[in-house]
């Protein structure tokens, strides 16, 4: 049963519908699910197999249709294939196609020049979005600007990957939430790359709009009684360095923000490599 004082939406980060079903049963609810090429590659039915491009697209569609049948009222994020050479036209074409797969899709584009161009056009067509691989406030500001007037957009800051670099990834989520307080609310902050229970509880404590977490984290939360941290919660950041808050205006054209980021490039390369490894 969903806790009465839970305001944050809870998503599962997975490419396996069996996990969807189990987590929904464990929690008694599930607000949505995020998928990406790496997660689809880990699906038990994909391990050790090779597909044609048509077959892997069909496999991905089958996965999200199964997830949709389990959480028909939830949001399901579907990621468009993208690499450093992808154009906005190609991303938009794939986004339109994937958006038609299920009635509750959010299409994931990377926060790159091509991704933001595709996003700007997508929101005008009523396509719901999840802008992924966010590693800076400037990128989040660009997402806000590119999708203005469209509504129903998520931005996914990746906490764990900043931790890997020795910085407190939870600061990025906190900073974007603070920056968006000056906005109109059309972009929701989806805390991603959640690696442990401290990440999860901190995201709840700071009021993230949405948290997406892997199966093991959500199971641990369920096993511990789905606790909601109180006002006295303190995140144990240890030796992680601070990511300082930046005063950034949200009213500039998205092209004027600094969107290039080496961690976005690295994430894009990983997703595309995992996807290409599935193709014969």
* Nearest one of 43, 132, 131, 54 to 97, comparing CA atoms: 54
Asked if residue 195 belongs to a domain, the reply is: yes
Q: Which of 108, 174, 241, 252 is catalytic?
A: 108
What is the domain count for the chain? Answer: 1
Span 143-184, pLDDT tens digits: 999 999 887 999 999 999 999 999 999 999 999 999 999 899
Asked if residue 22 belongs to a domain, the reply is: yes
Asked if residue 203 belongs to a domain, the reply is: yes
Could you list the residue range(s) of the whole structural domain that residue 84 is in?
9-276
Backbone conformation region of residue 140, classed left if phi is above 0, alpha if psi is from -120 to 50, else beta: alpha
CB 170 within 8 A of CB 157: no
Task: Provide DSSP, 145-178.
Answer: HHTTTT--EEEEEBHHHHHHTTB-HHHHHHHHHH
Asked if residue 2 belongs to a domain, the reply is: no
Backbone conformation region of residue 225, classed left if phi is above 0, alpha if psi is from -120 to 50, else beta: left
Span 113-132, pLDDT tens digits: 999 999 999 999 999 999 99
Asked if residue 208 belongs to a domain, the reply is: yes
Q: Residue 150's pLDDT is what?
A: 80
CATH number at residue 225: 3.20.20.70
18 assigned to active site: no
């Amino acid at each position: 049963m969903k806790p009465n004082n839970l305001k944050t939406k809870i998503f599962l980060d997975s490419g396996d519908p069996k996990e969807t079903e189990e987590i929904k049963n464990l929690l008694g609810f599930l607000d949505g699910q995020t998928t990406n090429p790496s997660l689809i590659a880990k699906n038990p039915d994909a391990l050790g197999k090779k597909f044609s491009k048509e077959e892997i697209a069909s496999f991905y569609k089958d996965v999200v249709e199964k997830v949709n049948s389990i959480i028909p009222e939830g949001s399901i994020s579907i990621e468009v294939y993208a690499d450093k050479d992808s154009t906005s036209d190609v991303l938009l074409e794939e986004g339109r196609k994937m958006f038609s797969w299920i009635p509750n899709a959010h299409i994931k584009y990377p926060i790159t020049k091509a991704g933001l161009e595709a996003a700007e056009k997508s929101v005008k067509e009523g396509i719901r979005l999840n802008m992924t691989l966010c590693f800076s406030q400037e990128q989040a500001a660009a997402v806000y600007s590119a999708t203005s007037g469209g509504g129903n957009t998520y931005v996914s800051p990746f906490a764990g990957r900043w931790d890997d670099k020795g910085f407190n990834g939870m600061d990025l989520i906190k900073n974007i939430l603070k920056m968006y307080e000056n906005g109109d609310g059309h972009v929701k902050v989806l805390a991603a790359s959640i690696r442990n229970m401290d990440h999860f509880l901190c995201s709840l404590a700071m009021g993230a709009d949405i948290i997406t977490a892997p199966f093991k984290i959500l199971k641990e939360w369920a096993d511990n009684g789905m606790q909601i941290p109180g006002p006295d919660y303190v995140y144990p950041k240890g030796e992680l360095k601070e990511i300082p808050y930046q005063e950034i205006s949200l009213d500039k054209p998205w092209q004027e923000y600094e969107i290039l980021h080496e961690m976005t490039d690295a994430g894009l390369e990983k997703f595309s490599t995992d996807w290409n490894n599935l193709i014969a």
